[in-house]
Chains A and B, each alone.
Chain A
Amino acid sequence: MMTLRTGWLPIGALAMVLISILAFLYSRDRGHDTSAYFENAVIVRQLKQLDARWELDVMKSKMGINPNYDALVDPLRDLTQLQGLLRGRLTGERHQGAATLETVQGALKNAVSRKTRLIERFKSHNSILRNSLFFLPTAASDLRQESGPVGRATDAVLLDLLVYGQSPSSEGATEIETRLGALAAAGKSQSSKIQDDLDVFSSHVRAVLREQPLVNGLLRTIAQVPTTAHIDEIDRLLGDEESRIEARVQQDRQYLLIFAAALVGLFLYAAIKLLRSHAVINRVNRQLQEVNAGLERRVQERTQDLETANTSLTAIQAAVRNLLDNAEQGFLTIDRDLGIGAQSSAACETILGEAPAGRKIVELLCREMPSDQASAMQATLASLFLDSSDFMRELKLGLLPAAFGLGGKSIRAGYKMLGDSQLMLILTDVTETTRLAAQVERDRLRLEMVVLAFTESEAFTALVEEYRAFIGTELPALLRQIAEPGRVNELYRRLHTFKGLLAQFSFHRSPQRLHGFETALSDRTSWTAQAARQVFAPEQLQAEFQQDLDTIADILGADFLASDRRLSLSQDQLKTMKQVASQALASGRELSPSVRQLLRDLAALGGLDVKSALALHGRGATALAARLDKEVGPVAVEGDATSLDPQIYGPFLNSLVHVFRNAVDHGIETPERRLSAGKRVEGNIRCTVRQDDSGLKIGIEDDGCGVDREALEAQLTASGMPSSQAAEIPLDNMMFREGLSSRDGADEISGRGVGLAAVKAELDRLGGSVSVETGQGAGTRLCFHVPASPKLIGHNPACLEMIQ
């Protein structure tokens, strides 16, 4: 671009130069007006002509051709006028030799005025001369007439005068004077008239003599006046100048032409250059446009790529976010100034209770911490970022607390250093886990307690008795006597001992309470009975002890504790004893009622209680329900107490577990379904046991969704049975058929189609029957009828023997 602009500069400069030259030449020549010259030339010619005519008229006057002198007067006026005109014109025009012209014009003027004067004098003398010359012949003839000799003398004079007139000379003049003198002398003798005439004649002759040379001289002088020369000079000057100017104009015209051509060429060149640059510009423009279009395309493509990348990134981000948010763990980052980063998982908000972004971590996390701990954590966190060695960092991270309590939740915190400038915190709500852990621990302890109670039952029972006695009598007595010296220590010792013993058996609450009592005791050294009674309330101990014991009762049964001491008996022993008892009863011997009762009790030992068995199944059912995220209330078992031969009825009763499992798995719906069906969320299973002479009736009912008959039919038709035939089969038949299940796939719990079939098998063995009542969405009720038979051992131990 710069070259283009500078390329124009010389062109422009050259154009300016050419234009200025052209303008100069044109203006110079425009002023030149040839007509002015020609007019001037005309005037000059006129001057010359007038001058010439003037001289001619002078001649004419001399010769007498002009009758008067008017012709000699008028030229002067015209000459003056023309001269003035010329002068005015020449002064008005610009002439190179203006000074010279002025001089010549001045000279001309002088010459003209001189000529005028000369001509004036000529006129004067010429008239005298002519008069005299004209008169002399007359005078001579008059004299001739008057006197002969005088006349002859005058003639002679006349002759001489004529000669003189042709060529005046001084000799001629003197000679004529001599003759005149002679004539005068000769005339003296004549008459006065003749003398007068002679005088007149002589005076005229003398006049001629006088005037003739004057006139001749004047004529010569007039001729010599250089008016012509001056006029010619003016003419020449003007002509020269004109030709010079003409030549210059011609030259200028040539230059004008050349420069104009040059200018045109320059313009052409400039035009070509312009066109070329225009073409270049167009080309470049097009190229630019193409490039631009290409760039735009690329940009668009890139943008699209970016957009897709962005969307995928967003998707990834969303997925990651999803993952994080669904992780149920709080991930957040903190930076150097302990502010929480903008990105954190959703769980953080739940855990911390408010949106964490931008807040200070210590504010949110250490809310429920003692302030000294919080400031310590803050200091540690702050110093963490200042360290650069991984070892120091690891050390400090280890110092940070790992567990926080926030809003009733237990939060576990994990720390990870991300680079040098960020620390990642992983917060996990471990409330549930903790609770469960605590529960597990509790259960473990309970079980431990139970196991210990069972295995060391004698010691356990003894301890229970002892502690009961302590609470009942010893403690109140001690409390009453607390003020006495040494009682405090004794109380302390007893408490401590019981604590240890109870802890040994993994009692849960009591040792804790005893420990609390110990602490309270050690805090004060002197007690009053009243204060002690308040603090160490035996009722409290009793209540807690009972609670602890209840845990065992739940598992091992109430009887376990109820009896003071336990006795173990082997099966053979029992069998023998029962046999003996049965035999004794059957012998028919006379027995006392109490002995008969004893024998009956003995024979009934080891008998199955249906209710207990069902309760056991019920417990299993509730546990199963919990595992399946269904809610089933405690299974109510009511009815008659029974005692059945375990060997006979045991398998059947055991198989009833499947009924319960089915009830929970198939029958009881999920809480959502139950809720949408308008039922209570908690499912209900109820068992009834009736024993009469016809047999044993066991009823198990649930309020679930009922048996899905259609599903069973579908399975039958799928396996090949025609549907019409399948529709004929009664429900109880289908339910208890082997391999048939209302569920397509078996899971861990049920669905194989085997469970109820097993029940049926056992029932058949016993000769029993079952009836099914089911309603879609209402529930199912199964009624088992086990017939009364000699096998049914109520209070008849002898039957037992026969079957076996």
Chain B
Amino acid sequence: MILMVGLILKRSGNRGFVLATFIVVAVQGVAQPSLAARLDEPIVPLPATLHVNVARADIGRRMFHDVRLSADGKVSCASCHDTATSGADGRPHSFGFRGQATAVNAPTVFNAALNFVQFWNGRAASLEAQVDGVVQNPVEMGSKWNDVVAMATRDAFYRPALAAAYPDGVTKANIQNAIASYERTLITPNSRFDRYLLGDASAITAEEKKGYAKFKQYGCVACHQGVNVGGNMFQKFGVMDDYFARRGNPAKADLGRFLVTGDEDDKHVFKVPSLRNVALTAPYFHDASAPTLEAAVDVMFRYQLGRVASSQDKSEIIAFLRTLTGKVAGKP
């Protein structure tokens, strides 16, 4: 790496230097997490900040709560992803444009920036793409980007603010980026478990430690791992047993990833959701079929792990799961 940098510097001058630095930083910055006290733990603590542009995040914040993004002017991002509470609306299905019910349970916006894709079926590769999809979704906001852009251009705050924050002013991409920038600020670091991971052994109780051990032992951690305790892979819902057959009422949304890739093998494959702040984001699963953590854990054990666990194990695991609740701007 250093040799490369040296080579680049020698050959090319300022431009090359900047590029090389970028590459180095990018690669280095990505190859390893920003903080890792215990390298062998499958769960990694959240970074303190994701380093976003404050001006853009501010625009995004206003837009996130702006109902004018929707066609009828009643639905904003915050309608379904309420940042005041858990980042989701606590309802099994949310009500979007003209009060239509969404097909799936709204995932939390908190730490969504650390998911590798967005939506249950991973159709949005980035937060911006997710904003794009939501605005146009006839069920959710039912709006058109032209209208949104026009609204933003007319608005006395958005236009100058966007013009100031972005070189090309009011565009769809910039609006998406602004909202995404805001969402990137919505991370919840300093959960008790994160503190424990960072070296504070007293951050969690013994039960919670046992729960974490069991979490790993039973193999929950196989999928719910990484910085976001999940959110970095797809998995079939119903690995060991057919969940949907048992549940019944097959819906289109149940097809999951198949709706994106068209691959047979991707049927009932969903993005593994993040378990951070899971204690706050009931109901669980895409169909909101598990109203409580206990129910969710049961489902997981049965259909994903194919294991039988004692209730004590389960409660310990649940206790552990509760430690994953972080703080937003200081408050949980």
Which of B4, B16, B27, B226 lies in contact with A78, CB distance below 8 A? B27
Partner of A68, one of B20, B226, B239: B226
User: Is the beta-carbon distance between A34 and B219 smaller than 8 angstroms?
Assistant: no
Q: Does B41 contact A (CB under 8 A)?
A: yes
Contacts of A72 in B (CB 8 A): 232-233
CA distance A71 to B32 in the complex (A): 8
Choose one: A39, A67, A73, A117; the contact of B19 (CB below 8 Å): A39
Answer whether residue B8 sits at the interface, using C-beta atoms and an 8 A cutoff: yes
Residues on the B chain within 8 Å of A121, using CB:
234, 265
Chain B positions within 8 Å of A207 at CB level: 239-240, 306
Q: A35-B16, A53-B31, A73-B232 are in contact. Are A127 and B8 (CB under 8 A)?
A: no
Known: A68-B43, A70-B44, A123-B233. A42 touches B19 (CB 8 A): yes
Which residues on B sit within 8 Å (CB–CB) of A75? 30
A39 near B239 with CB under 8 A, answer no
- Which chain A residues border B232 with CB–CB below 8 Å? 68-70, 72-73, 123
Kindly identify which residue among B12, B27, B42, B265 contacts A50, using a CB–CB cutoff of 8 Å. Answer: B27
Assuming A35-B13, A42-B8, A68-B226, is B31 touching A127 (CB within 8 A)? Answer: no
**Cα–Cα, bound, A281→B38 (Å):** 96
Q: Are B23 and A42 in contact (CB under 8 A)?
A: yes
Residues of A with C-beta under 8 A to B234 = 120-121, 123-124
A68 touches B236 (CB 8 A): no
Residue B50 CB within 8 A of the other chain: no
Which of A128-136, A272-280, A423-431 forms part of the interface with chain B? Answer: A128-136
Contacts of B116 in A (CB 8 A): 73, 76
Instruction: Decide: A203 and B240 in contact? CB cutoff 8 A.
Output: yes
A contact face: mostly helix, strand, loop, or mixed? helix
> B247 in the interface, Cβ–Cβ < 8 Å?
no
Residues of chain A within 8 A of B308, CB atoms compared = 196, 200
Which residues from A are CB-within-8-Å of B226? 68-70, 73
Q: Is B307 an interface residue (CB 8 A)?
A: yes
B269 contacts partner chain A, Cβ-Cβ < 8 Å: yes
Q: Which residue of B lies closest to A77 (CB)?
A: B30
Q: How far is the CA of A45 from the CA of B290 in the complex (A)?
A: 48
B227 contacts the other chain (Cβ, under 8 Å)? Answer: yes
Tell me if A81 is interfacial: C-beta within 8 Å of chain B.
Answer: yes
Q: Say if the beta carbon of B223 comes within 8 Å of chain A.
A: yes
Give Cα A798–Cα B181 distance, bound, in whole angstroms: 200
A side interface size, CB within 8 A: 42
Q: Could you say which residues of chain A place their CB within 8 Å of the CB of B42? A: 67-68
Chain B stretch 33-76: residues in CB contact (< 8 A) with chain A:
33, 39-44
Q: Is B44's CB under 8 angstroms from A68's CB?
A: yes
CB contacts (< 8 Å) of B263 on chain A: these are: 117
Number of interface residues of B (CB under 8 A): 44
In chain B between 194 and 247, which residues have their CB closer than 8 angstroms to a CB of chain A?
Answer: 219, 222-223, 225-227, 232-236, 239-240
Judged by a CB distance under 8 angstroms, whether B331 is at the interface is no
Q: How many angstroms from the CA of A684 to the CA of B83 in the assembled complex?
A: 174
**A207 to B304 Cα, complex, angstroms:** 11
Interface membership of B15, Cβ < 8 A = yes
The distance from the CB of B246 to the nearest CB of chain A, in whole angstroms, is 15
- Flag if B4 contacts A124 (CB, 8 Å): no
User: In the complex, which residues of chain A have a beta carbon less than 8 angstroms from the beta carbon of B261?
Assistant: 117
- Is A204 close to B, CB under 8 A? yes
A78 to chain B, nearest CB (A): 5
Check if B41 sits within 8 Å of A67, measured CB to CB: yes
A69 touches B233 (CB 8 A): yes
Q: Please, which residues of chain A bring their CB within 8 A of the CB of B233?
A: 69, 72-73, 120, 123-124, 127
Q: Which of B1-27 contact A (CB under 8 A)?
A: 4, 7-8, 11-13, 15-16, 19-20, 23, 26-27
In angstroms, how far is the closest chain B Cβ from the Cβ of A230?
A: 19
A277 CA / B199 CA spacing, docked (Å): 95
The answer on a CB contact under 8 Å between B31 and A74 is yes
Say yes or no: is B305 at the interface (Cβ < 8 Å to chain A). yes
A70 to B29: give the CA distance in the assembly, Å.
Answer: 13
Given contacts A70-B226, A127-B235, contact A42 B4 (CB under 8 A): yes
Q: Of all chain B residues, which has the CB nearest A214?
A: B265
Of all chain B residues, the one with the shortest Cβ separation from A57 is: B31
Q: Is B12 within 8 A of A35, CB to CB?
A: yes
Bound-complex Cα distance A200 to B219 (A): 14
Q: Which residues of A contact B307 (CB under 8 A)?
A: 135, 200
Complex Cα–Cα for A124 and B223 (A)? 8
Establish whether residues A203 and B306, one from each chain, have CB atoms under 8 Å apart when the complex forms.
yes
With a cutoff of 8 Å between Cβ atoms, the chain A residues found around residue B219 in the complex are 127, 130-131, 134-135
Using Cβ atoms and an 8 Å threshold, which residues of chain A touch B239? 128, 207
Pair B8/A43 contact, Cβ less than 8 Å: no
CB-CB contacts below 8 Å: A201-217 with B: 203-204, 207
CB distance from A766 to the nearest CB of B (A): 162
Instruction: Mark each residue of chain B from 305 to 326: 1 if its CB lies under 8 Å from any CB of chain A, else 0.
Output: 1111000000000000000000
Q: Which residues of B contact A127 (CB under 8 A)?
A: 219, 222-223, 233, 235
Give the residue among A77, A124, A132, A203 with the most B Cβ atoms within 10 A. Answer: A124
Residue A49 lies at the interface, judged by CB distance under 8 Å to chain B: yes
Evaluate contact between A49 and B43: CB separation under 8 angstroms: no
Q: How far is the CA of A35 from the CA of B18 in the complex (A)?
A: 13
Q: Mark A169-210, 1 if CB is under 8 A from B, else 0.
A: 000000000000000000000000000100010011001000
Complex Cα distance, B125 from A81, in Å, reads: 13
CB distance from A508 to the nearest CB of B (A): 148
Cβ contacts under 8 Å, B223 to chain A: 127
- Bound CA–CA A446/B234 (angstroms): 184
Q: Across the interface, which residues of A come within 8 angstroms of B33, CB to CB?
A: 70
When distances are taken between beta carbons in the complex, the residues of chain B under 8 Å from A39 are: 8, 12, 15-16, 19
For A134, what are the chain B residues with a Cβ–Cβ distance below 8 Å? 219
Known: A42-B4, A134-B219. A35 touches B11 (CB 8 A): yes
Minimum distance in angstroms from A134 CB to a CB of chain B: 6
With an 8 A cutoff between CB atoms, is A38 at the interface?
yes
Q: Does A46 contact B (CB under 8 A)?
A: yes
**Which residues from A are CB-within-8-Å of B8?**
38-39, 42
Q: How far is the CA of A128 from the CA of B4 in the complex (A)?
A: 40
On chain B, the residues within 8 Å of A67 by CB distance are: 39-42, 225
A338 vs B42: C-alpha distance when bound (angstroms) = 147
Cα–Cα distance between A634 and B20 once the two chains are bound (Å): 157
Hey, which chain B residues are within 8 Å of A76, CB to CB? Answer: 116
Task: Chain B residues near A203: list those with CB within 8 A.
Answer: 240, 306
CB distance from B121 to the nearest CB of A (A): 12
Verify B23–A71 contact, CB threshold 8 A. Answer: no
Task: Tell me the complex Cα distance, A69–B221, Å.
Answer: 11
| Chain B minimum-CB-distance residue to A45 | B4
A70 B41 Cβ-Cβ under 8 A: no
Measured CA separation A42–B42 after assembly (Å): 32
Q: How far is the CA of A76 from the CA of B26 in the complex (A)?
A: 12
In the complex where A70-B226, A200-B307 touch, is A38 in contact with B27 (Cβ < 8 A)?
Answer: no
Provide the bound-state CA to CA distance between A68 and B233, in Å.
Answer: 10
Return 22 A-B CB contacts under 8 Å, by A number: A34-B11, A35-B12, A38-B12, A42-B4, A50-B27, A67-B225, A68-B43, A68-B226, A69-B225, A70-B44, A74-B30, A121-B265, A123-B235, A124-B233, A127-B219, A127-B223, A131-B219, A134-B219, A135-B307, A196-B308, A203-B240, A207-B306
What 14 new A-B contacts, CB under 8 Å, besides A70-B232, A200-B306? A35-B13, A38-B16, A39-B15, A39-B16, A42-B19, A42-B23, A68-B225, A69-B225, A70-B44, A71-B31, A72-B233, A73-B116, A124-B234, A131-B222
| 6 nearest A-B residue pairs (beta carbon) | A35-B12, A131-B219, A68-B225, A127-B222, A123-B233, A67-B42
